[in-house]
């Protein structure tokens, strides 16, 4: 690989340099990558990019136990020595009320993942592949005029975590991704758009045909649209849309957010009934379908499957070393390394709780059994959510988000012209009716279609 690093040799060098500078306690996190990406516009190259990135964070603890942090991109002896000395100098100004320590699991055994390293294709090969994909997508329907957002990218990367207590972690990885977002236009009608994404360990492994077909099918399905009346509807969230919604409110499970006072959860929330009893949510960064999975977090803690909700009951929070110490539990492997250690989820698994009955069974958007749970107004299918960065107030639980989707009435599906879905995440989790179909693998997690009762839909005025 282009970023070949030798973690044991680097640790030995750091140990010698730290000893020379009189530094006894330190750690280092490094991430290096070589990235190549292409974009096209109607058969012509729009953008070709290549970049080598290196990000290194060094932390040093002084005699008083305070921590100083510095960043560098220089792995020479001189560069590392400067980083160690700079971090030591900065430690005099460390935050006494928030002092991280080494993770007690930083030297624990790691699982072995099946992550084959793929050869990187040349940028011209990527360009030709993307041109062909765009050409195929444009030919799927006469109304598809352009593919304004597209990209084919590949990455070769390495991650390292080292500390003065003997931790020595290293992981190499190759990944590739394809994104196609088509725009369809018909005379006298508004443009309609939709897209699809695929990820794999290498460009040759990408499901290009599936990405083209999904982008085309979704875009074509939105051509025949009509306005929707404002009101309350039963909604069916696609796996991608529901995962996006849960991700936007992941502070519910985030111990750092709880300590910072920006989460709906409290320190004593474990054991509360947060959702319907037939819903379970796990964070499983080690799932085989999680392309780009990391075996350890920024503090060297091993990644592991963690139960967040079981039977609708809140079971665990996501932790770093510092938050785990504050809560009196073990770190969970969800930390990022920096001046202030962050905490975040990896990859969600969402679905019914095994062995727990409840919820509607055999749900079908087009053929609801028995009394129609959608009601006379119809059933709203939410395909994708937009403006998550602006329309979600995570600390309050509320959201108001534009979406692309369809209204189903009498078994017939028609695209919704323009609408917004609004609600409160706590009511959403308590308002789940049931699940439809098998769980689908997406880049951000695993989830089936999710039916939710009584959500507010605002149509275009």
**Statement to judge: residues 272 and 313 lie in one domain:** yes
CA dihedral 268, 270, 274, 278 (to 10 degrees): -170
pLDDT at 236 over 90: yes
Q: Residues 6 or more apart from 288 whose CB is under 8 A from it?
A: 114
| Domain end point (choices 220, 255, 275) | 220
**Statement to judge: residues 108 and 241 lie in one domain:** no
pLDDT at 460 over 90: no
- Is residue 2 in some structural domain? no
- Is residue 1 in some structural domain? no
**Statement to judge: residues 306 and 444 lie in one domain:** yes
- Is residue 370 in some structural domain? yes
Would you state the structure tokens that stand for residue 437, as one six-digit string?
A: 């179909």
**Containing domain of residue 458, as a range?**
224-461
**Statement to judge: residues 289 and 210 lie in one domain:** no
For the stretch 41-93, pLDDT in tens is: 999 999 999 999 999 999 999 999 999 999 999 999 999 999 999 999 999 99
The residues facing 408 across adjacent strands are 379, 413
**Statement to judge: residues 125 and 233 lie in one domain:** no
**Statement to judge: residues 233 and 195 lie in one domain:** no
**Statement to judge: residues 244 and 365 lie in one domain:** yes
**Statement to judge: residues 389 and 346 lie in one domain:** yes
Question: Domain tally for the chain?
Answer: 2
| Domain end point (choices 199, 220, 241) | 220
pTM: 0.94
For the stretch 353-403, pLDDT in tens is: 988 877 777 888 887 543 345 555 789 999 999 999 999 999 999 999 999
The CATH number that applies at residue 174 is 3.30.2290.10
What's 376's DSSP letter?
T
The answer to whether 133 touches 211, Cβ cutoff 8 Å, is yes
**Statement to judge: residues 256 and 172 lie in one domain:** no
CA distances from 257 to 38, 94, 152, 199 (A): 37, 21, 35, 30
| Domain end point (choices 161, 190, 220) | 220
Radius of gyration of the chain (CA): 25
The answer to whether 56 touches 161, Cβ cutoff 8 Å, is no
**Statement to judge: residues 351 and 295 lie in one domain:** yes
């Amino acid at each position: 690989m282009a970023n070949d690093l030798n973690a044991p040799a680097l640790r030995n060098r750091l140990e010698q340099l730290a000893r020379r500078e009189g530094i006894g306690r330190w750690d280092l996190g490094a991430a290096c990558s070589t990235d190549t990406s292409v974009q096209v516009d109607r058969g012509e190259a729009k953008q070709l990019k290549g970049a080598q990135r290196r990000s290194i964070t060094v932390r040093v603890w002084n005699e008083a136990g305070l921590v100083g942090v510095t960043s560098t991109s220089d792995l020479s002896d001189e560069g590392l020595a400067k980083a160690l000395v700079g971090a030591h100098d900065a430690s005099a100004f460390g935050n006494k009320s928030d002092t991280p320590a080494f993770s007690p699991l930083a030297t624990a055994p790691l699982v072995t993942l099946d992550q084959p390293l793929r050869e990187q294709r040349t940028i011209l090969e990527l360009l030709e592949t993307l041109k062909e994909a765009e050409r195929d997508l444009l030919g799927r329907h006469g109304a598809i005029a352009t593919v304004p957002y597209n990209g084919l990218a590949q990455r070769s990367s390495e991650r390292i975590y080292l500390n003065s207590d003997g931790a020595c972690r290293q992981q190499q990885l190759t990944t590739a991704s394809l994104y196609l977002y088509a725009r369809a236009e018909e005379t006298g009608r508004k443009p309609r758009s939709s897209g699809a994404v695929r990820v794999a360990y290498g460009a040759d492994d990408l499901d290009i045909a599936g990405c083209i077909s999904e982008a085309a099918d979704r875009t074509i399905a939105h051509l025949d649209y009509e306005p929707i009346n404002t009101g309350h509807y039963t909604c069916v969230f696609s796996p991608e849309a529901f995962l996006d919604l849960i991700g936007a409110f992941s502070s519910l499970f985030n111990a750092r957010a709880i300590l910072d006072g920006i989460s709906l959860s409290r320190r004593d929330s474990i054991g509360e009934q947060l959702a319907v009893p037939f819903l379970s949510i796990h964070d499983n960064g080690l799932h085989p379908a999680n392309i780009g999975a990391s075996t350890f977090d920024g503090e060297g803690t091993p990644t592991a499957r963690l139960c967040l909700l079981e039977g609708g009951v809140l079971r665990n929070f996501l932790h770093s070393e510092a938050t785990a110490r504050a809560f009196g539990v073990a770190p969970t492997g969800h930390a990022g390394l920096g001046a202030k250690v962050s905490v975040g989820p990896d990859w969600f698994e969402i679905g019914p709780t095994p062995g727990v009955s409840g919820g509607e069974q055999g749900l079908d958007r087009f053929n609801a059994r028995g009394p129609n749970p959608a009601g006379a107004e119809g059933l709203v299918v939410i395909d994708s959510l937009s403006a998550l960065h602006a329309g979600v107030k995570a600390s309050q639980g509320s959201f108001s988000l534009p979406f692309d989707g369809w209204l189903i009435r009498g078994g017939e599906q028609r695209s919704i012209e323009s609408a917004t879905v609004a609600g409160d995440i706590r009511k959403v989790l308590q308002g789940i009716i049931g699940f439809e179909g098998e769980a689908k693998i997406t880049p951000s997690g695993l989830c089936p279609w999710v039916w939710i009762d009584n959500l507010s839909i605002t149509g275009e005025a």
